[in-house]
Each structure stands twice: as structure tokens, then as C-alpha cells.
Structure 1
Amino acid sequence: MNLTVARLTVRGLLGRRRGLLLLVAPVLLLVVSLITRYLDKQSQAPDILGRLSLGTLVPIIGLVIGAGAIATEIDDGSIVYLLAKPLPRWKIITTKLAVAIGTTWLFAALPTLLAGFILVGAQDNLAIAYAVGTMVAGAVYCAVFLLLGVVTRNAVVVGLVYALVWESLIGNFVEGARTLSIQQWGLSIAKTIATDGAITAPVSLGVAVPLLVVVAIAATALATVKLAGLTLSSDE
């Protein structure tokens, strides 16, 4: 990891009021959890932690952070200053990815853990299970959306279509598509941690884990290759 790249990435992600905007979704999740607990409707915990957090919050946060870790620098041309440095392209990508993952965990996985404890406490390990699921899924989302940030100037638009249409809609309700859903892979991880069958997942762990690893590595490698192909031009 390169500390200079990491520092610049953190500044870009959390500066210019973006940090405050990133707080909106986690705060909403916690407010919904508090209201649900107050109304004594803990049976809705799987919907809140699964569909609202893992299914909606995580991909959107992953998109904003993953694509934002590099897309802004490419759009405004400031990426040329990094490319001009004697830094391996893989180190730039992996550093930005590490920062993106850590930030996603802060704004998505931690609120999910807190929401779980608010809703059901330590019951059935649900809070920890969904938190770990969001951590795993969030890391892969960051890799995919970081790749989008490198290959297209419309990363946010493409990412929103993927997150809202494929992950939140098709991935939840079309049985055959669930195997290719990062959300469902994360849910499979959560299922193995929860007790007493508290979480159901349509994708087996033996399928989910290899797909998580392959997609994360492939997206990171391809982002490195694409970044290496960028020229030192203010038009890039």
C-alpha cells in the first residue's frame, strides 16, 4: 500500500461534503431499526438487515465509494499526477481498493452490526452474521465498481443500473439470476454464521466463496490493466 495514494483517496472520498452525504443511508438504517424495535416488530429484522442493508445500502455505498475512489480523478484529469509517479499501476489500484473497502465497512458493515444489535441483540448471531455478509459483499462491490470507475465515465449510472435493477430486483426475485448476485453470495456467508437456520440463502457456500474470490481478483486485475492503458493526457 502507498500511503500517499491512500491519503489522497481518503481526502477525495470524505472531503467536499461527501462524507456527510455518505452518512445519510446508514443513519436511515439505524432510525428504521430503532423504530422497528420500539414497535416491537423484531420479526422484520431479516427484511431490514437483508434487503434494506445487504440488498440496498451495501451496493449503493459500494458504488459511491468504489467508483469515487478513482473516477473523479480520471474525470478531472488529476489522475495524470499519479500516473506520472514511478508507482506500479497495481499498487495504485490495490491501495485505492483497500481504502474503498475500509470506508465501505465503516459506512455499511458497522451500521449493519449496530442495527442488528438494536433489532435482536445477540439472538441467533444475526447481527454478526449480516455484518460479516456485508463486509464480504462490500469488498467485492468495491472491486467491481472501482473497475467501472476506470473503464467508463458513466460509472455511477452503470453502477446504479446494476445495483438497483440486477442486485435489488432481479437478484432477489428471479431464481436463476441469484447465482450471479453479489448480494446472494454475501447472504450465503451470513447464513453460515447465523444459528438455527435464522437466515436462508439460495446460493450454497461452495458456489458463493469461489465466485466472490474470482470476481474480486478479476475486477482488480482488469482495473490494473485498464489503468496502465491510460495515457498521460489531460483528456483522460
Structure 2
Amino acid sequence: MNAPIIKLGLRSLFGRPRVIALLALPLLLIAVSGLRHVASSDPIDTAEAGDLLGTLGIGIVLPIVTLVATSTLISSEFDDGSIIYLLTKPVSRLGVVMSKASVVLLAVVGLVVLPMMIAALVLVGTRDNLWLSAGAGTLVSGAAYVGIFAVLATFLKRSIVGCLLYWLLWELTLSGLIPAIKWTSAQAWGASVLTQLADLEFALKVPTWFAALAGVVCLVGGVFAAGRRLASTTISEV
């Protein structure tokens, strides 16, 4: 990885107006959890809390934050042509992608994983270790999304549209209609880890080991594929 690229990535990610979206969604998640806790006269059931976190946190907040971060650090550089600067420098193309992906993953941890843990604590406290389960599930899905979006950002011309279509069609629509697709769904992997670690019921339980392995494979494989794609990209193609 390249330290200067990481520093530039952090500055680019948190120095633009779109950082408002990155901060607003996690705060909204915590706020909704707080309102749900206050509105209930009886203690909230762990299963209900897990369903809220899985649906809102892993299902919506996580992919949007990851998409915004990826579009800021990778997609926008192809769109505005600034990637040409990196292509003319004697730096490893794989190192460039690894550096940018690490910044996106860091943003996912700070802006989604930690807020998910806080939201779980707000909802049910430390009961059934839901806060740890929520953090682990979000991290698994987040790692997968980083790898998937990195590939789409480097292989597609209109990468933001491609990422949105992938999320809306595959993750939100088809995975809900066809149970077998959950085995290849980043959202389902995280939700399965969350529910199994907290000993909750889930419609289709993808084994925790499989979900964790799939998340790592998507992250590593996605970054490697994106790096190979960037290495084969010429200035004339940008």
C-alpha cells in the first residue's frame, strides 16, 4: 500500500460535501434506534432489534456509505480523468487500488460498524451480545461490498449506476425473491452472521464460516481484480 495515496484518500473522502451523507446515515441509524427504545414501554426483544439492525443498518446504510466512499475515491477519478495522474507515476497499480480500498474499508468501520454497535447498545444494551454480533455482521458485509464495488468502479464506464443497479437488483430484489441467491449476497452474509452469533432466527442461515470466508474472498479478489484492470488501463482509455 502507498501511504501518500492513503492520506490523499482520507483528505478527499472527508473533505467534500458528500461527507454529509456519510455522516448523516449512521447518525440516522442511531437516532432511529433511540426513538424505538424510547417509544417502547417494555424492553425491546433482541430478535426485533436484530431485524431492525439487519434491515436498516446492513441492508441500507452500509451499502450506501460504501458506495459513496467508493465513488469518491475510485469512480470519480475515472469520470473526471484525474486517474491519469496516477497512471503516469511509477507506482504499483495494485498498490493504488489497495490503498484506496483500505480507506473505504476504514470508512466502513468508522461510519457503519461502530454506529451499528452503538445502535445495538441503545436498543438492548449488552443483552445476547447483540452489539458484538452487529459489528461482526456489518464488517463481513462491508468487506464484501468494498471488493465488489471496487471491481465495478474499475470495469464499468458508468460505475456508480452499475453499483446502484447491483445493489437494487441483486441484493434488495432478487435475493429476497430467490432464497438460493442469499448464498451469494453480501447483505445475507452479514445478516446471517449477526443472527447466528446472537442466536436469533433467520429465514436462511448461511453458515458463519461460509459468510466470513465469502466476505474475505470478495474483498481480496475484488481488490486484486481491480488492480489488474487498472494495470491494463492505458491513458487513451480514460
**TM norm structure 1:** 0.91
Q: Which runs of 5+ in 2 are unaligned?
A: none
Q: Is residue 49 of structure 2 the alignment partner of residue 52 of structure 1?
A: no
CA distance in 1, matches of 2:149, 2:7: 20
* Contact map agreement 2:196 2:205 (CA 8 A) in 1: no
1:53: how far off? 0.4
* Contact map agreement 1:178 1:202 (CA 8 A) in 2: no
1:192: how far off? 4.4
* Contact map agreement 1:190 1:199 (CA 8 A) in 2: no
**Aligned residues: percent identity?**
33
- What is aligned with 2:227? 224
1:209: how far off? 3.1
Aligned pairs for 1:141-156 (under 5 A) are: 141-156=145-160
CA distance in 2, matches of 1:162, 1:47: 23
Match of 2:181 among 166, 170, 177: 177
- What is aligned with 1:79? 83
Match of 1:165 among 159, 163, 169: 169
Deviations along 1:92-119, one digit per CA (max 9) or x if unpaired, are 1111111110011111111111110000
1:154: how far off? 1.6
CA distance in 1, matches of 2:151, 2:140: 17
- What is aligned with 2:217? 214
1:162: how far off? 1.6
Q: RMSD value over aligned CA atoms?
A: 1.8
1:168: how far off? 2.3
CA distance in 1, matches of 2:193, 2:70: 21
What SS is found at the alignment partner of 2:235?
Answer: coil
- What is aligned with 2:2? 2
CA distance in 2, matches of 1:165, 1:114: 30
- What is aligned with 2:22? 22
CA distance in 2, matches of 1:165, 1:28: 24
Aligned length: 233
CA distance in 2, matches of 1:172, 1:108: 23
* Contact map agreement 1:2 1:91 (CA 8 A) in 2: yes
Residue type at the aligned position of 2:219: A
* Contact map agreement 1:46 1:199 (CA 8 A) in 2: no
1:173: how far off? 4.3
1:163: how far off? 1.5
CA distance in 1, matches of 2:189, 2:176: 12
* Contact map agreement 1:71 1:150 (CA 8 A) in 2: yes
Deviations along 1:109-133, one digit per CA (max 9) or x if unpaired, are 1111111000010010111101111
Give the direction of change, closer, same or farther, for the CA distance of 1:31–1:209 in structure 2 (3 Å limit). Answer: closer
**TM norm structure 2:** 0.91
What SS is found at the alignment partner of 2:115?
Answer: helix
